[in-house]
A and B are shown apart, each in its own frame.
Chain A
Amino acid sequence: MLSLRERVVRFGPGDGLAGIITTRREPGSEALPCVVIINAGIIHRVGPNRLYVDLARTIALLGFTVLRFDLAGLGDSAAMRGTMSLDESALHDVQQAFAFLAASRGATRFLVVGLCSGANYGIQTAFMEPRVDAVLAIDPSVARTRRSTIVHFARRLKHMATMREFIAFRHPIFRRTLGDRRSMAAAQAAAGQSERRVEIAAATTASLANVTTELNRTMDRGMRLMLVFTGGVNHMYNYQKQLFDLLPDVDFRDLLTLRYMPETDHTVSDLDSRRELMADVTAWLMMVFTEARHPAEQGLALVPSERRS
């Protein structure tokens, strides 16, 4: 890591947002976009199991300027102010990061990176911000398909620990069904739950239609997208091509790189999977941005990611 430089930055209203900028000591190309990494949940800017530190350093080695920072109320940033919702505040803070990088680095284009809620915010930012050239989203929110539901329950049935709990009547499903039905209040709650499920299903359908529209719009303007799905969300996403079953009307052209990593956890925490992800991200960035160059330009083991072209 000797060829990297890291420094603390403060920006936003009252300099209330705190972050770390990672750059390569050898100057990178000015043509490259600046990178913004968005918190996952409430974990501070190092990321879950330090994933964001690894991503920032890996990406910076290619010549990018990378900012990982704390949204308002997280890590070392000041608390949220005003009346914005959590989501509004997060998206507002990402815009603050863009403004800071534009003012301090002359950035005009951006690459947004995030895991889980950070991935969702990254994608939402890309929908409303034409300066976003590319998004790397790890385990964004995703809906099940009929096939993924079948795969999920089939796997659960084959799973020994689950079966043991089931046979011993200790599985949570018994508490949710038999136990809950013992009282009228619980029955009413169950009825409410059923209505809620219908609401969620309707919202999901509407959301998918909206996502389809927005994704097609971003693809029209040539935005590049790398999506990673891990085994940590295998209850929702559990086969390679699920994305295309879920969003059949999105024309991804050659702008999507999809990586399915069923044997690693949500935060890609084991060393081997983490290395594989870093190699994939490196390969993707070097494919998407021709100015991205590793300082060594040799000896870098790149694992080509699976793409749909």
Chain B
Amino acid sequence: MNLFFFGSSGRQLFGAYHAPPASVPTRGAALLCPPWGLEYLVSHRIFRRLAVRLSEAGYHVLRFDYYGTGDSAGERDEGDLTSWESDANTAADELRDMSGMATFATIGVRLGAVVAWRVATRRSDVHTTLLWDPVVQGTSYVREMVAAQQEIDRWLVVPVKKQRSPEGTHNVLGFPLTAAMRTTIEAITPEAFETPTRANVKVFNSDDASGSSDLYRALHAAGTPFHAETIAGQTPWREDEAIGASGLSVLVLERMVEVLR
């Protein structure tokens, strides 16, 4: 595993590159697109494990942090879904450069799945896009996040200080949700998944939430062939909110590796 910084000097991004062992035939390359906020913290261990498993299976894998998140440059309140997509494109170029592979898969979780999807629809070098619990309706996602924060606030004996500035920024599960973030996230609708893509689409859902049927309908409407499966009991995104930890979702990880083999 090679940890490194890449991108321009004004927009330095952090990456972790996992090359396959020399003893394993190379199968391809994969770009992992992380979610945002608490879900980013919760999924870090999962992403590392997935990267290790994929590299053992012959994949060149790049994990990375968007600008303003993780180890990348920038502040927590900088960036939005549009800029994260741009960062993913930068990371994709880096992955191609490092691996020497002409095509690659994008793999994303939650908001990261939206990023992975967009990269797959706008580039011709993505052969597969694998979406895990994608956010299909941005307004519902924001509403759920805000409600989760309100539930936490309700139990606070001493109320947490309300933010005074900047206008329109709200603390959501420990991360500032800016107006720009909110606008770009709330713009996510099922129709966004009607955009055609040349990539093979594979969807993993932790449960049969209403969002998944909307997603399938959109993919059907666009005539996009896809593979979908539900693996129950593996929803780590809201676990252990207080400590930012989670289980490893081994079943899903192993299925992803199998599907990409």
Contact = CB atoms under 8 A, between A and B. Distances in A.
Interface of A: 1-2, 6-8, 10, 18, 20, 41-46, 48-50, 53-54, 75-76, 152, 155-156, 159, 161-162, 231, 234-235, 238, 262-267, 269-273
A272 B163 contact: yes
Contacts of B38: 49
A263 B76 contact: no
Contacts of B164: 272
Nearest to B4: A8
B179 interface: no
5 closest cross-chain pairs (CB), A and B = A49-B174, A269-B174, A263-B161, A8-B3, A155-B157
A46 B176 CA distance: 16
5 contacts: A43-B244, A50-B70, A152-B157, A270-B161, A272-B161
| Chain B interface residue number, banded | 35 or more
Most chain B CB within a 10 A radius of its CB, from A45, A46, A155, A263: A46
Interface string B51-93: 0000000000000000001110111110000000000000000
A231 B160 contact: yes
Nearest to B242: A266
Nearest to B73: A1
A269 to B, nearest CB: 4
A50 B163 contact: no
B169 interface: yes
A8 B1 CA distance: 12
Contacts of B3: 8, 10, 18, 76
Interface of B: 1, 3-5, 9-10, 12, 16, 38, 41, 44-45, 48, 69-71, 73-77, 154-161, 163-165, 169, 171, 174-176, 242-245
A1 B77 CA distance: 14
A257 B22 CA distance: 54
Nearest to A18: B3
Contacts of A41: 243-245
Contact of A270 (B4, B9, B10, B163): B163
A6 B12 contact: yes
Contacts of B157: 152, 155-156, 159, 162, 234-235
A137 B225 CA distance: 54
Nearest to B154: A161
A263 B12 contact: no
A271 B163 contact: yes
Contacts of A2: 9-10
Nearest to A44: B44
A235 B9 CA distance: 45
Contacts of A267: 174
A235 B175 CA distance: 23
A263 B159 contact: yes
Nearest to A154: B157
A303 B198 CA distance: 56
Identify the interface centre among A8, A50, A161, A234: most chain B CB within 10 Å of its CB: A50
Given A155-B158, A263-B159, A270-B171, 6 more contacts: A1-B75, A162-B155, A264-B160, A269-B174, A271-B163, A272-B164
B181 to A, nearest CB: 13
Contact of A161 (B41, B155, B242, B245): B155
Nearest to A43: B244
A42 B48 CA distance: 14
B16 A272 contact: no
Contacts of B1: 76
Contacts of B242: 266
A262 B158 contact: yes
Contacts of B244: 41-43, 48-49
